[in-house]
Amino acid sequence: MELAIIAHDGKKAEMVNFLMQNFDKLKNNDVQIIATGTTGSFVEKTGLKVQKMLSGPHGGDAQIAARVAEGKTNMVFFFRDPLDRHPHEPDIAMLMRLCDVWNVPLATNPATASLLIDHLG
């Protein structure tokens, strides 16, 4: 099961906290984690293994969107900062659209991510 992890700068600490709270669920359910570059560096600090893509503004969101379209990524946790502007907004919109097209669960906040992670086991 491949899980993509992405967090805007203002949400990276929140993502790390969420991952730490759910460390055992992620470790025990054989979840393979991919992440955008900078977020991936934060994920590594939790002790979870992660495959890092490019950073979001340099194409990482688009790389993950491609994996969604290819059927490789099964779930996406993208903690977005809705109060900040992002220069790579077209890539973000594409990722979210492809999650809808391919029926891939997408959590944009910890409450939704908690509901999804509870179904892992």
Residues annotated as catalytic are 61
Taking the C-alpha atoms of residue 27 and residue 15, their distance in angstroms, rounded to an integer, is 16
Taking the C-alpha atoms of residue 113 and residue 103, their distance in angstroms, rounded to an integer, is 16
End-to-end CA distance of the chain: 12
Taking the C-alpha atoms of residue 26 and residue 51, their distance in angstroms, rounded to an integer, is 15
